[in-house]
Amino acid sequence: MGFITTPLGAHYFQWGWFSVSIGNIATISAVVALLVLAIVVPFPKEHDVTPIQREQDQA
């Protein structure tokens, strides 16, 4: 397991048969992070809402 640099200067992470460029794994990580944030970060409440949401807020 470790990092290698190709003759053209690209950086790769290698672990056995697994090999991924740092740029690609960084992009994939960013997408996963965005997905998690989109699910867990609350949406601002000041938008118009349906009666169901109003009842929920009043309850």
Cβ(15)–Cβ(9) below 8 Å? no
Binders of other proteins among residues 29 to 48 (CB under 8 A) are 30-31, 34-35, 37-39, 41, 43, 45, 47-48
- The angle subtended at Cα 52 by Cα 51 and Cα 58, nearest 5°, is 85
Task: Note the helical H segments in 10-49.
Answer: 22-40
Can you tell me which residue has the tokens 């349906």? 50
Among 5, 21, 27, 29, binds other proteins (CB under 8 A): 27
> Residue 52, interface with other proteins (CB under 8 A)?
yes
In the complex with other proteins, which residue's Cβ is closer, 1 or 40? 40
> Residue 59, interface with other proteins (CB under 8 A)?
yes
